Amino acid sequence: MSEDVQRVSGVITKIEEINSEIRNYEISFKQGREAAFCFAMGIYSSCGEICRPYTPVKINKECVVCPIKIYKQEGERKMLTPLVGTWKEGDSVDILWYRKKLPILEMLSEKHKTVFMISAGTGVTPMMQMLFYADANRMRNFKFVSVCLNKNETYRILRSCAEYPGLDLEIVDLYTQTEKGSRERSLMELRLEVEKIERETAIFCVSGPNSFVEAVSGPRKQEFGGMLKIMGVLDENCFKF
């Protein structure tokens, strides 16, 4: 295993309910770890058979916090989150620790004035990791705007600017609900938020389910496109997580 990918043991030290489907899992490490900035880490099932990536939103030497949405078991399929849903404080958990996967520090270069974060559902977690890092490193020269789309307010994971007291941060919540046409309406509202800022000096970060990322910035791992491209945002100023 390379130095950047290490399997480590941890213990779940705190579970906090966000709503009936989403919980914050605080995982502490038996051996103290360097506070390396990482993008995602793998969490294993207790039998070690299943591993899925998660994005810690708080990272320090002894522990990380990961918001995890629990999905219902679908047939016989190997799924991790129905198992995570049964985990209790004090349980042991194995982690595959990845380091720096995206050039986040390069993204936060001096030339950009606004960091405009667009996310849907648990896609907000990489944005929260950036905010955590920016706050800890006193990056006061940026304006951060986070536009989060969620079904309704109980699904909000990024809840308050007060979590990042050192940052100039604005949180905009858009709700998609479930009625017909509400998704399109939310995308229109998102468009209005993008129109409010000076697009030439902003970087855009986009994260969420594939169909959402595609509508906003083109298919994941493919060419830039979607709403932002139509609005004149340059490819080099947009990062898809």
Binding site for ligand FAD (CB under 6 A): 40, 52-55, 66-69, 71, 77, 79-81, 121-122, 125, 209
> Min. distance of Cβ 139 from ligand FAD in angstroms?
22
Whole-number Å distance between alpha carbons of 14 and 141? 34
Q: Tell me the C-alpha to C-alpha distance, in Å, between residue 106 and each of 27, 163, 199, 238.
A: 28, 24, 18, 13
Q: Least Å distance between CB 111 and ligand FAD?
A: 27
CB of 42 to ligand FAD, least distance (A): 9
- Residue 238 has phi, psi (to 5 degrees) of -125, 130
Pick 209 or 219: Cβ nearer ligand FAD: 209
To the nearest whole angstrom, how small is the minimum distance from the Cβ of residue 158 to ligand FAD?
Answer: 12
Q: How far is the CB of 200 from ligand FAD (least distance, A)?
A: 29
* Shorter beta-carbon distance to ligand FAD: residue 208 or 226: 208
The residue (of 202 and 215) whose beta carbon lies closer to ligand FAD is 215
Is 219 in contact with 210 (CB distance < 8 Å)? yes
> Nearest 5°: phi and psi at 2?
-75, 165
CA angle at 191 for the pair 188 and 193, rounded to the nearest 5°: 120
Least distance from ligand FAD to the Cβ atom of residue 43, Å: 8
40 or 194: CB nearest ligand FAD: 40
Q: Closest residue (Cβ) to ligand FAD? A: 81
- CA 180/CA 193 separation, integer angstroms: 22
Half-sphere exposure of 178 (CA within 13 A, CB side): 0
Q: Minimum CB separation from ligand FAD for residue 27, in Å?
A: 12
SS3 content of the chain, % helix, strand, coil (to 5): 25, 30, 40
CB 227 within 8 A of CB 195: no
Nearest-angstrom CA–CA distance, 209 and 120: 7
Q: With respect to ligand FAD, which residue has the nearer C-beta, 191 or 220?
A: 220
Task: Spell 187-196 as b/e; 16+ CB within 10 A means b.
Answer: beebeeebee
Decide whether 114 or 125 has the Cβ nearer to ligand FAD: 125
Closest to ligand FAD by CB, 32 or 103: 103
